[in-house]
Amino acid sequence: MPYLPTAQSFLEQSRLLISARPTTTRITTKYTLPKTSPPDPSKSKSPPPPSSEPSQPHQPQPPKATLTLKTYDPISGTCLKYETDKAAEVGRLIAALGSCGRVMAALPAKEEAVDEGAMEVDAPVKEDAEGKAKAVPKEKELKGGQGQGQHKGGEKGGGGGGGGKKKKGKK
């Protein structure tokens, strides 16, 4: 049961698995809140150092919940996993589940303008996974690439200029 390092690679692999086995593949999203109370010493595997517990007042912190995504095909036994604890990723992951749902429902792949704007990294993944044989996205890719390049250049230039001005002001 491999955990994939990034959400992007997880989604890419999941899309490939779903498009290969659309009927049997399922995506399970597990949201887990761990127990907040200190674990029973009888239950825990290793005895916690008793001296460190009172000295570290970590109790008021909110519990660290985790979100685990699992794409599993019981027929081939393929299992892909991704785990995160960042709230910022939830919206994007659910949106990606929606686009995976489109593949499951055997709907044609759809270009999502929102995704491209918000996460430019996502765009090439989709094209890889869904539009393999289609040559149409190429143009888009090129345009996207140029756009990104310009953006980066602009940012770099701006940043450099700002830095220079600051230095001059200080001296």
Cα distances (Å, whole numbers) of residue 141 to 7, 56, 90 = 21, 51, 26
Question: In the bound complex, what is the minimum distance in angstroms from residue 106's beta carbon to other proteins?
Answer: 5
Nearer CB in complex with other proteins: 34/54: 34
Nearer CB in complex with other proteins: 50/105: 105
Nearer CB in complex with other proteins: 100/125: 100
Nearer CB in complex with other proteins: 104/119: 104
Question: In the bound complex, what is the minimum distance in angstroms from residue 114's beta carbon to other proteins?
Answer: 10
Tokens of 71: 């794409």
Q: How far, in Å, CA of 148 to CA of 124, rounded?
A: 13
Identify the bridge partners of residue 82 per DSSP, sorted by sequence position: 69
Q: Which parts of this chain interact with other proteins (CB under 8 A)?
A: 21-36, 62-67, 84-88, 90-91, 94-95, 97-98, 100-102, 104-107, 166-167, 170-171
Within 10 Å of residue 19's Cβ, how many Cβ atoms? 17
Question: In the bound complex, what is the minimum distance in angstroms from residue 3's beta carbon to other proteins?
Answer: 17
Collapsing DSSP to helix, strand or coil, 82 comes out as strand
Are 23 and 17 in contact by the 8 Å Cβ rule? The answer is no
Name the helix (H) or strand (E) containing 7. Answer: helix 7-20
Question: In the bound complex, what is the minimum distance in angstroms from residue 104's beta carbon to other proteins?
Answer: 4
